Amino acid sequence: MSSHSIVHVEIPAQDASAASKFYADLFDWKIVVDPTFNYHMFQPDPGPGGGFVELNDEMGYQADRVLIYVSTDDIDASLAKVEELGGKTVKSKTEIPGTGWFAIFTDPTGNTIALFTNMER
């Protein structure tokens, strides 16, 4: 059974490069850029890491909406339970090549949360 812990946080930004510099300078977070996706990732010590995502209304990335990722062993089952409990699927299970899968849902209040499953290597 999955622990359902918070495993990743995404902070929306107008400019991911500028945001990563701001937070690195502010909190001394280590920044790593995945060149395949130009994805700027941060790693605080300790705590879950995350990344900076470009603003995108379709994906729900808005300036006032930090997105947390919760681990799950079965995204499809978790999304079914979301729907059963009155939430809504925003983005169905989607592969992150070489990493795992994610999905996004809203709870009955309208909060947006993401699910994540690691890819077995």
Q: What is the pLDDT of residues 16-57, one digit of tens each?
A: 999 999 999 999 999 999 998 889 999 998 889 999 988 887
Q: Is residue 48 part of a domain?
A: yes
Q: How far apart are CA 43 and CA 56, in angstroms?
A: 23
Q: Is residue 29 part of a domain?
A: yes
CATH number of the domain where residue 82 is located: 3.10.180.10
Q: Is residue 14 part of a domain?
A: yes
Q: Is residue 63 part of a domain?
A: yes
More confident residue, 72 or 61: 72
User: Considering its fold, how many domains does the chain have in total?
Assistant: 1
Q: Is residue 1 part of a domain?
A: no
Rounded to a whole number, what is the largest CA-CA distance in the chain? 43
Answer for the pair 78, 115: CB distance below 8 angstroms, yes or no.
Answer: yes
Q: Which residues of 26-52 are buried (b: 16+ CB within 10 A; e: fewer)?
A: eeebebeeeeeeebbbbeeeeeeebbb
- Model pTM above 0.85: no
Strand partners, 95: 101
Residue 70 has pLDDT above 80, yes or no: yes
